[in-house]
Chain A
């Protein structure tokens, strides 16, 4: 049976190339909203962090109707760290829009995601977006896309993919760059014509591949996926199995069945092969499971998702100020929250450790884990995290480490500085080319060489550089790296920081805190230029004797403290330090708070090394 009343399309693109803005425009032009309905500008980004960072983190589904055809649109994460999501979404659709910024051209994430789509034989539509940009390079970008497809061995059909020139912001599209578009009709028409309707088997026994999971307090866990075969009805009994665990046979019942209409979910009694549906009632359903008719239990193949490469230890907050800000502070809270995240995030791994208070959390990069930390923090959790470490592998007794492909676009004058940094971080130059007045450099660099490089890169390129990395492969260990050449200023008294104490401390290095900040012994309050820790007392007040008056304190000028973001703190902390995360504060602390115990431990390590 030919489903020519339906198209399932994913939009894949690099961070900030305008993916969600284009979906907003498509929704508006297909009259999904009533005229007077107030619509926030980024319709599909419901997560607050996504709005702040302007990136899509979770793949969301929506649909529009055009000329009697329902087009299911699946928005995919734009950041390389969430690629677990992208691979799953590829299973739900049979065509993709490859969105590329008219000025930046194809970047690492575009390369990674297009490779996934090509591997699955999907038909492509190239959407060059933001053509309204003054620095748009239309001809060059089209060549760069063709070069990318050639490099990724696209088939002839894929090489001949149509190109649509769009401006998501203005809501216009055109097939010929010389004739400006009036609306998105050319884009809708190209989707209908170029992406073939699916050939489906609506008579066979039911089969749904679960590609995504959601959670709702009323109906519990919701599975999302495409019906691969048959007609599924609400209230139907089914059996759940899994391609990678074929012995799994979980009987259950589909209590509620929903189809996607616009941005919402609409209850429906039945849906047939090809439809993307949401279903509840199967409490243990998981990503990659197949829901089958009881009489024909046949698991559906599920794409292998690449392993995480970076790990951190999450533990209960045991600092002196623990429990002051957070609502959820115990190990039970931390455990439940982390294991619940596993349900929704395929790229994450959480393992218990020998200590009941800490958990080993593995993800696909620093950003992946930092967004999880930020989410938990805003939900009222309080905990501590260690510095990010890469996950090594041992093959034939030899140590291997994850290596990333890094693409850097910088103004010419800064390429030397980037080169210098790459040399120190064991990056190997693979490719270099000039793009207008900018230079594009491509390196292979160990994942641990990238820790802390983002802020250094933005500083050395005066904010004009663009940097993106994607996991490449595991390669033999490339030797030790000097991670941080600076030490920490450590408070050795608990109390409140005062101007007099800070004034003396600021002579030893850059401070992170200002007067009036509560501190505890072992808390890191600044960075010292020398590669050793310095204990300072920022709570020291001036002894008031009759020869000095109290108000001469005002003459002390303090340098503005360096406010560090969550990412900068994660980049800063050493192996002997932890990051204390609470809803209101982020504090860096030494693992061993007591300064004497810490000195003894350091001496023992030095003796051990001698």
Chain B
């Protein structure tokens, strides 16, 4: 999966290896982690990751590094509310 650079906040990148390992940078928070879904917060909004038997292996709010393992089936970027508003009222 290609990197998705955002202008705002820390350098964000996300990579998935053989749908088995996911690692990301520029992560500001983790919400509602469960083996089938979790949500990451980054400067541009939220990232919803779906899969099965997923397990978080690393996270540090200080460095923004995140890693998890398991079977990853979907990754969805959700722009933050501010993002949507800016685009609507450009």
Residues on A close to B: CB < 8 A?
412, 415-416, 419-420, 423, 428-434, 439
Contact = CB atoms under 8 A, between A and B. Distances in A.
Contact of B29 (A420, A429, A434): A429
A139 B38 CA distance: 34
A412 B60 CA distance: 17
B30 interface: yes
Contacts, number: 36
A432 B58 CA distance: 5
B55 A419 contact: no
Nearest to B34: A416
B9 interface: no
A428 B35 CA distance: 19
A423 B58 contact: no
A431 B57 contact: no
Nearest to B33: A419
B18 interface: no
B31 A433 contact: no
B59 interface: yes
A408 to B, nearest CB: 13
A412 B61 contact: no
26 contacts: A412-B55, A415-B33, A415-B56, A419-B32, A419-B33, A419-B34, A420-B32, A423-B31, A423-B32, A428-B61, A429-B30, A429-B59, A429-B61, A430-B60, A430-B61, A430-B62, A431-B59, A431-B60, A431-B62, A432-B30, A432-B58, A432-B59, A432-B60, A433-B58, A434-B57, A439-B56
A439 B60 CA distance: 13
Contacts of B62: 430-431
Given A429-B61, A432-B56, A434-B57, A416 B35 contact: yes
Contacts of B60: 430-432
Given A419-B34, A429-B59, A431-B59, 17 more contacts: A415-B33, A415-B55, A416-B33, A416-B35, A420-B32, A420-B34, A423-B31, A423-B32, A429-B30, A429-B61, A430-B61, A431-B60, A432-B30, A432-B58, A432-B60, A433-B58, A434-B57
B64 to A, nearest CB: 12
Contacts of B58: 432-434
Nearest to A431: B60
The 8 closest A-B pairs by CB, nearest first: A432-B59, A419-B33, A430-B61, A429-B30, A431-B60, A416-B34, A434-B57, A423-B32
A412 B54 CA distance: 11
Nearest to A429: B30
Interface in B40-57: 55-57
A439 B55 CA distance: 10
B55 A431 contact: no
Interface of B: 29-35, 55-62
A412 B59 CA distance: 14
Nearest to A428: B29
Contacts of A429: 29-30, 59, 61
A430 B61 CA distance: 5
Contacts of A419: 32-34
B76 to A, nearest CB: 20
Nearest to B32: A423
B28 to A, nearest CB: 10
A294 B55 CA distance: 68
B81 to A, nearest CB: 18
A428 B33 CA distance: 12
A413 to B, nearest CB: 9
A420 B34 CA distance: 8
A574 to B, nearest CB: 27
A107 to B, nearest CB: 18
A189 B60 CA distance: 40
B48 to A, nearest CB: 15
Contacts of A432: 30, 56, 58-60
B30 to A, nearest CB: 5
B34 to A, nearest CB: 5
A425 to B, nearest CB: 13
Identify the interface centre among B30, B32, B33, B57: most chain A CB within 10 Å of its CB: B33
Nearest to B68: A432
Contacts of A420: 32, 34
Contacts of A431: 59-62
Contacts of A416: 33-35
A545 to B, nearest CB: 57
A423 B58 CA distance: 18
Contacts of B31: 423
A432 B35 CA distance: 16
A505 B33 CA distance: 39
A433 B33 CA distance: 14
Contacts of B56: 415, 432, 439
A420 B38 CA distance: 11
Nearest to B66: A432
A415 B34 CA distance: 9
